[in-house]
Chain A
Amino acid sequence: MDDQGFACAGIRPLSHGPAPQKQRWYRGKPIVSILLLAGIILGCLFCNAFIPKDPTYMDLFHYDEAPGREFLFGTDAMGRDIFSIVWYGGRLSLLIGFSATAISTAIAVVFGAVSGLAPRWLDAVLMRLTEILLSVPNLLIIILIQAILGKPNVLSISFAIGITSWTGIAKIVRTEVRQMRSSEYVLAARCMGGGFFHILWRHLMPNFISSIMFMVVMNVRNAIAAESTLSFMGIGLPWEVISWGSMLSLSEKALLSGSWWMILIPGLFLVVTLLCVTNIGNWLRKQTNCRQSNL
């Protein structure tokens, strides 16, 4: 159709405005967050290559020193070099973040799928149970679990955090599975004799993974924050086991002596990590939303 034809049909030809700007590949992606997070993760993993001091060595002559040339970020009340331990301790914090998320996601997926595939009464009972579990403050559950598991270590902390943070994902998985369970490809798989875990793994999981991805990333963030909170309150890792949280557990002394670096530096690392993870999570959420609306 020519221009006149368009006019007849009542359609305005598109006005040729300024040429659209060239789309850059990184547009809309949280590049800064990804780079920062990658930097922190790599730095923590390969910290042995560049940290100047032995992170476990307590220098009794240089405790509580302000940041300076020898101690870039100062030393803590035990005489450890903060620059060294902040990288070294990041390992454990990140490790706990990821392993706790793995535990909680696994529980959530299985629980949500069982609840979603179960008959209505069982589903109601299971959901009521999660509500009861939610009604006990997480802190108390964690203390009780810690008491049962004995002396806190990385594994027990991950377990305690994981077991208290799965309900949100489980609820989403349940709703998604409820919608999918009567769809014909699940029926078809059942006809073929596929068992519960086969159907979960091959059919359900690929379909709900995108909708829980955001929650999973947020769970990493929450687990890292939880570890630091627990260690700070003295229920998590003891101060000899270095993580960002256990470094901050010495902050009470730091407050008395006014040594700000002991509080601000590990905390900044912590907050920057959490912020990066949150940004990535938010980006993921937007992605899944776009995809859903395009379908």
Chain B
Amino acid sequence: MIRREFLYYGKKLLVFAASILVLSIVVFYVARLAPGDPLVSYYSDRVEKMSPEERAWAEEKLGLSDPIHVQYVRWLSGALHGDFGISFKYKADVLEVIRGRLVNTLLLGGTGVILIFGLALLLGILCAWFEDRWLDRIICKAGTIISCIPEFWLSLVAILIFAVWLRVLPSSGAYSAGKSHDIADRIIHLILPMSIVVVEHLWYYAYMIRNKILEEVRADYVLLAKSKGMSRRKIMFRHCLRNVMPSYLSIMAISVPHILGGTYIVETVFSYPGIGALSYESARYQDYHLLMLLCILTGAVVILCNLLAQVINERIDPRIRANEAAEMLEVKQIG
């Protein structure tokens, strides 16, 4: 039995490693084959004045003169030892460059995911409880409208209202100048971006929970429980919710990347120093090593979440298969 468990998780781990490997190869090749001059991000304007010899020397120094597969093998062996190379633009170890920003993104995205998860559950239950009453209807209508609004425009309007007109909240950044350790200041800066992330995604999951519960409520076992004299609240929380949870968990796991993608856009609008803005920058200016690390980080999170969803489905709730859960997700907006 233990052996089988071991094999099961070993297989998942193998899939994870293989996916990451394929992902790294694809990103590496695509990035190198895309036109653009990586020297520009290292030497900025000086590149234009370089003589061919100087260029050759610079490429040699940055390790860009070898064929791509040699570069890839070099990168891979470095990466396996924890050395992901240096960022051309910041001229520092990419891990150093990312560290501070990773915390910021995790703060925004991670808290966002938890908030969305909890609030969606609450809202979904509320809607299902008051099915087809005015509260349910209002929440549903408002949700449809909000989920149609592109994230960036919602951010713009929020800035316009709260930062420009009311002047109650800061419009950009993660902290005021010189106050990077002031927690209260950080929280104030987080309010706007966080609410955008939450509001934008909240609705979709709340609606899903609502529909799942409504499906569940119509099952026969609810009638049975009712005839035994169980209270409405008990049936809802003891039975219905418990049956809904596994599929909700797996869908949440699959949709983490969507929420992450959403944070990238919000980060850009609010000039919030996180990973989103960084990856956008690194892709545009051929900062290869930085791009690789960021892609692999996000890719790892996404693939991990997918596998997690599979495990949840196969282990906790064998009723639904993994791909079914994936199909329940509609194609979401870009991110």
Contact = CB atoms under 8 A, between A and B. Distances in A.
Interface string A227-261: 01110110100000000000010010001001010
Contacts of B257: 134-135, 137
B261 interface: yes
A128 B323 CA distance: 11
Interface in B63-78: none
B329 A148 contact: no
Given A132-B23, A233-B268, A218 B280 contact: no
B44 interface: no
B22 interface: yes
Interface stretch (B92-100, B144-152, B223-231): B144-152
Contacts of A140: 279-280, 283, 291, 294-295
Contact of A255 (B23, B164, B291, B334): B164
B89 to A, nearest CB: 15
B31 interface: yes
Interface stretch (A7-15, A17-25, A162-170): A162-170
Interface stretch (B33-41, B112-120, B232-240): B33-41
A233 B30 CA distance: 22
B150 A228 contact: yes
Interface SS majority for chain B: helix
Contact of B331 (A165, A232, A255, A282): A165
Contacts of A147: 34-36, 283-284
A150 interface: yes
Interface string B263-277: 011001000000000
Contact of A271 (B15, B149, B326): B149
Nearest to B332: A222
A137 B34 contact: no
Contacts of A138: 261, 334-335
B192 interface: no
A250 to B, nearest CB: 11
A12 B98 CA distance: 75
7 contacts: A135-B298, A139-B265, A144-B31, A144-B283, A161-B334, A251-B156, A278-B148
Interface of B: 15, 19, 22-23, 26-27, 30-31, 33-36, 144-145, 147-153, 156-157, 159-160, 163-165, 171, 257, 260-261, 264-265, 268, 279-280, 283-284, 291, 294-295, 298-299, 302-303, 306, 323, 326-327, 329-335
Interface of A: 127-128, 131-132, 134-140, 142-144, 147-148, 150, 161, 164-165, 167-169, 171-172, 175, 215, 218-219, 221-222, 225-226, 228-230, 232-233, 235, 248, 251, 255, 258, 260, 263-264, 267, 270-271, 274-275, 278-279, 282
